[in-house]
Structure 1
């Protein structure tokens, strides 16, 4: 068996026709996936909102669908879920509200992450320090507290602070500020609505708080304990998991493949996985296996 190739060499082995086919985007595929996702989200929300039998048990599934909108928002930064560009942008902006994640800012942030993946000095995902190295940091990360704290801080900073990060293009500053301020206005309106009805708390806020640790656990596997090298099939992890989680996460468990060839839409990633599987350097047999291995590396103190 030949040695695994770095991502550029592995992709170079694909024929031009194969590469073109893998990059084909589809409104039909994207809208079908989105329709099923939103149907599940709406059904869970109605179950909780109407307090149907055993409704507290639906809080975690509902929250999971809320927080995993992040994977759709992330995919929209690449303009790949749909063939029509305005659909990608409109849906990306729509995801900003439940996630507290201004899309225009996030798109620039995420493009820099792809350019400098796992580079401790230039990857913006690491600008506040490395991933958890001890049990205290690990549990804090999984709690979601750091995410919500960071989301509020980022939203206020983008709305009113200096936009000095090198990956934020000056031509987009005004749009970033406008979107962040509109989001703050929306959250203020929602907060006032809670004085009249607690519906938003039960249907969105509480489920999102409950489920955020699941998203944190999922995201840590994408690059956690991957080496800071240029090879995308090594600095990003593919986690082999079940069809349900691949559906909820828009096939992003194929994360090394996504980083190697980000122009490939979600519905083509299983096919790309078949092409690149012999060259993957960072993989896990499921998220439980990843976290067991990750925990074995944690220290007990700071």
Structure 2
């Protein structure tokens, strides 16, 4: 894969530029502005529209944090760490835990060791409950995963200390804010301004998360095991090109503002490997909700049919292109 792109072109895409990151204060300004409007809005419809928009903006802000996990948002590593920790404060999740999980996800993408591959299972009752619960209350499950489960299972030594220090920071900040709000008699309003946008953020994050890998070939590598979504230009802009996800998985050191250019350079290889490029987050998410959690057999059948349809009428049938038996899928 590395040889399919000119080295000079790829090197140019790795270069950091500070100008695109001016979107960071812009996004925070929009997010805060929406909160101010919600606080003073004369009608509940305006309030809830602001909450929805705040959750959408928070998803965009979190994609900046995502680049910090790969140390590519800023040149200096400490700046990536500092901004990552700061971004996670409203989510009450440690950047340390998320980063460690995310790097493991990249290393073991769409395999049994991928910590994010919970959509793949045996389609039992537990698999269905977890799958649909994530779609509805993903932000709650994410908090439990990164605050408690993953750190206890995986973090040791300095990383564990960093994680629990972040959780202590979150506790201090949260308690301080709500003690002040209570003293001013506005605790309920402050809670609503924090909680409801976070719920909407969780839904947007679930849509994005599911769409990035659901239904892609299992254990097939970074390129084939990832989906790029050619979303509308507005969504690409607000979510900082995270939808060009194949390029990110193959070349995670390329900053967010170069992912569209990377996608163009990778198109010949993407087409050669018949990797999945879709047009809509909603279409992929609705398909996932209709079909439910994955199983290996279902994954092989679905991708076999897709490959046959893409290759044309002369391609081998799905049943001949895999070793699926007659068990229920």
Q: TM-score range, shorter-chain basis?
A: 0.7 to 0.9
Show structure 1 runs of 5+ residues with no match. 1-8
Specify the alignment match of 2:216 in structure 1: 226
Specify the alignment match of 2:105 in structure 1: 113
Q: Indicate whether 1:63 and 2:55 are aligned.
A: yes
Structure 1 CA distance, aligned partners of 2:238 and 2:253?
Answer: 20
- Cα 1:263/1:207, change in 2 over 3 Å: same
Specify the alignment match of 2:199 in structure 1: 209
Specify the alignment match of 2:292 in structure 1: 298
Query: Map of 1:85-104 to 2, 5 A cutoff?
Result: 85-104=77-96
Query: What are the superposed Cα offsets for residues 243-300 of structure 1, whole Å, 9 maximum, x if unpaired?
Result: 221122221101111000001000110100001123330221111221343345338x
Query: What are the superposed Cα offsets for residues 187-213 of structure 1, whole Å, 9 maximum, x if unpaired?
Result: 333443453313422322122113421
Q: Indicate whether 1:251 and 2:241 are aligned.
A: yes
Name the SS of the counterpart of 1:270 in structure 2.
helix
Asked if 2 retains the 8 angstrom alpha-carbon contact of 1:64 and 1:208, the reply is no
Offset of 1:115 from its aligned partner? 0.4
Structure 2 CA distance, aligned partners of 1:248 and 1:284?
Answer: 18
Q: Find the structure with the greater CA-based Rg.
A: 2
Structure 1 CA distance, aligned partners of 2:277 and 2:181?
Answer: 44
- Cα 1:208/1:132, change in 2 over 3 Å: farther
Offset of 1:80 from its aligned partner? 1.3
Among 172, 176, 180, the residue aligned to 1:189: 176
Name the SS of the counterpart of 1:246 in structure 2.
helix
Asked if 2 retains the 8 angstrom alpha-carbon contact of 1:66 and 1:204, the reply is no
RMSD (Å) for aligned C-alpha atoms: 2.5
Structure 1 CA distance, aligned partners of 2:158 and 2:5?
Answer: 37
Specify the alignment match of 2:321 in structure 1: none
Specify the alignment match of 2:268 in structure 1: 278
Specify the alignment match of 2:310 in structure 1: none
Name the SS of the counterpart of 1:109 in structure 2.
helix
Name the SS of the counterpart of 1:202 in structure 2.
helix
Asked if 1 retains the 8 angstrom alpha-carbon contact of 2:242 and 2:256, the reply is yes
Offset of 1:78 from its aligned partner? 0.9
Asked if 1 retains the 8 angstrom alpha-carbon contact of 2:5 and 2:266, the reply is no
- Cα 1:163/1:211, change in 2 over 3 Å: closer
Show structure 2 runs of 5+ residues with no match. 294-329
Q: Indicate whether 1:18 and 2:9 are aligned.
A: yes
Specify the alignment match of 1:46 in structure 2: 36
Structure 2 CA distance, aligned partners of 1:26 and 1:34?
Answer: 13
Q: Indicate whether 1:178 and 2:168 are aligned.
A: no
Name the SS of the counterpart of 1:34 in structure 2.
helix
Asked if 2 retains the 8 angstrom alpha-carbon contact of 1:118 and 1:229, the reply is yes
- Cα 1:192/1:67, change in 2 over 3 Å: farther
For these two proteins, the number of residue pairs brought into alignment is 281
Q: Indicate whether 1:141 and 2:134 are aligned.
A: yes
Offset of 1:138 from its aligned partner? 4.5
Query: Is the deviation greater in 62-71 or in 39-48?
Result: 62-71
Among 51, 68, 72, the residue aligned to 2:64: 72
Structure 2 CA distance, aligned partners of 1:163 and 1:55?
Answer: 39
Name the SS of the counterpart of 1:117 in structure 2.
coil
